[in-house]
Structure 1
């Protein structure tokens, strides 16, 4: 991965204390989702159906952790949606952030291509996550820019979509899945298992619960590798059965 891709300590955007961002980096997205479920977040913070199309975290040291900078795309024919103020969203993005773009699901064109990825890369944006599509995969990979998206396309933004707002809460909806609200400065974590977003006001609670869960799971793993039964192990360490 690029040297700008996954170092929360270099962020000029983050409001979350750096020691908390570093603590999250020691936790997997699975451990974080389990903690969010315990906090009654129905989705577990999981952003579904995303795939990595750029640089990809293959180890714990490459785990991506950063605060979200939101971008809402709308159908270009939507005359009621606000028009973006302040210039292009790439020019308004801040170093150290993770740009999260939400695009209408019926749109088959990309919200990000090689040129926009290059603009974000030179601004030291950590990564881009798109509830929608990207394109110019070779250029994105050459840049070393981490990009997650729902899919890819050959089509650019125009004449299909346009940016409408930045730094406003995004509502992420998928069929048969709980609605997820993503707000500016929420903390996004991405690794080999997927992408999870932690509400900014729940970071400390999530860390505490996730660390406890990680310790319990390690005890379970040790017992299972020693040949003990799963039901016995779960009953001993988790006080329940059936959880994977």
Structure 2
């Protein structure tokens, strides 16, 4: 669960968009030479619940990440994970480890056609107090997911259950989604209009400090353009180096 201080910070984030967050991360993150900047944006995610549409009228979902890593059905469970802190002990189900107050982030192996989240899992997560789910793969039972009002973002859908191709491999480990690594405790920012961004936990304070400056500069640029300025001159005048 987020601390009271962190909750205040997350509430401040609600005043901004996913684009504002990415603008800040683009300046703050230091990447190896030749690496493509992702700025926290997890690509190609679609909101499948509570409605299958992007909308400015829906609430942002902003919370720390808890993570689940699925692996191919035929792969062995990673050594050391079975029954330990990052695994799933015998006689348990992966979804029962979903953590209240978090966004559950699920990594599914690339190229699979089954779903890794369905109606029963969504209902259980909702009961446990999960704030939302982000899946870099497929989901199913959209009617049930929507009915339980659990916000769910995913890449696509399937009518096929998880057991056809996948199985849970580990929990609360770093997961990779579209070139963005999400670690447990990172802040997941689900913007119902602009998309999903992950903020590394260690950069949260810097993002909160930088965003107002960047937004103010862009507001000045937009006003200048409204008044007839060309964009080059407006950028030159108001977009200072930070």
TM-score where L is the length of structure 1: 0.85
Is 1:143 the counterpart of 2:148? The answer is: yes
Contact 1:52 1:149 survives alignment (8 Å): yes
Corresponding position of 1:7: none
Q: Work out the CA distance in 2 between the residues paired with 1:35 and 1:93.
A: 30
Is 1:160 the counterpart of 2:170? The answer is: no
Tell me: CA distance 1:60–1:235, structure 2 relative to 1, closer, same or farther (3 Å).
farther
Give the secondary-structure state (helix, strand or coil) at the position aligned to 1:158: helix
Contact 1:14 1:185 survives alignment (8 Å): no
Contact 1:26 1:60 survives alignment (8 Å): no
For these two proteins, the number of residue pairs brought into alignment is 223
Encode CA deviations 1:37-61: one digit per residue, 9 max, x unaligned: 1013521011111111112573377
Corresponding position of 1:213: 214
Choose from 2, 17, 21 the match for 2:10.
21
RMSD: 1.8
Q: Shift in Å at residue 159 of structure 1?
A: 2.8
Encode CA deviations 1:58-115: one digit per residue, 9 max, x unaligned: 3377111000000000011002534432422221112111000000012110010111
Q: Work out the CA distance in 2 between the residues paired with 1:67 and 1:223.
A: 38
Choose from 42, 55, 60 the match for 1:58.
55
Corresponding position of 2:104: 99
Q: Shift in Å at residue 228 of structure 1?
A: 2.0
Q: Work out the CA distance in 2 between the residues paired with 1:88 and 1:30.
A: 36
Unaligned segments of structure 1, at least 5 residues: 1-12
Tell me: CA distance 1:164–1:80, structure 2 relative to 1, closer, same or farther (3 Å).
closer
Corresponding position of 2:227: 226
Encode CA deviations 1:151-174: one digit per residue, 9 max, x unaligned: 1111110131111111111133x4
